[in-house]
Homo-oligomer: A and B are copies of this chain.
Amino acid sequence: MKKLVGKLVVFASLIFVTACGANDKQWRQLSLENTVLLTLPQGKVVIELAPQFSPNHVRQFSELVKQGFYDGTKFYRVIDGFVAQAGPKDGSEKDKSVPILAMESHWPIDDKWSFTKVQDNDLFAQQTGFKDGFAIAQHLDGTKGEAWLTHCPGVLAMARENKADSASSHFYVVIGQAPRYLDKIMTIFGRVVYGMQHVQAIQRTTSIEGEYAVDSREHTSIVNMQLMADVPKKDRIIIEVEDTQSAAFVERLEKRRARNGEFFYNKPPPVLDVCQVPIRSRLIK
């Protein structure tokens, strides 16, 4: 039943965006098929996948999650302020068993493409904004352009070798200041919507010069990873996230930009860093 409701909400939201540019529903429930429950030793994390932007990556990742592929694998490259990366042992049978994916890092747009704008003349892009809760950046020249998901804290992207089309199963989560120089050359396919503090507590693996190396036995393991649809009903974590196409969200953006509170005795510039705008989640169960 929950799935059906989820689909109806998405459908209704599309109508609203088309009809009047903003949805009147402030919250949207995540679909159980597009949500992953990542269990770490220190706590539970919920990830929303983005099949509308990176369909092949989401399909393969979901399939691997269903198979229990990631259970017991480790976060083997964790650099404070940068990324936490996990996957099977490099070059192992398990590693080699997974098909290579073609990049899904950006897509063409035209002047009819809609999103919730955050900022013009961002440091890395002509415009930034949100679409379906994901931070995006875009460039539009007349009627033609391109858009892409941008590397804000909490996004999941697939790691790769030097070649563009070389990602398979190793993924990373951004845990520091947005490394936006990775935009358009990596495929982002999801984002953490709950439990980011547990991702932040993953054991760092790279030590600074002069410090002892972290033993791989201390690396944080993935206890397990499941599609929320496959989690027994009583153990599901049901999350709603702010609908970034909603009128309420747009209003909140503008308040954030204006900084009218008394605390702001000198007004900051009326600009917003798209990666510094929190998209709120709420726990339903």
Contact = CB atoms under 8 A, between A and B. Distances in A.
A164 interface: yes
A185 B269 contact: no
B276 A208 contact: no
B273 A185 contact: no
A119 B180 CA distance: 15
Contact of A177 (B121, B124, B152, B263): B152
A179 B276 contact: yes
Interface string A143-177: 00000000011100000001110000000000111
Nearest to A278: B81
A162, A273, A275: residue with the most chain B Cβ atoms closer than 10 Å? A273
Interface in A105-152: 119, 121-124, 152
A265 B162 contact: yes
A197 interface: yes
A162, A180, A181: residue with the most chain B Cβ atoms closer than 10 Å? A181
Contacts of A181: 259, 268-269, 276
Contacts of A262: 162
6 contacts: A162-B265, A184-B266, A208-B282, A209-B283, A210-B283, A211-B283
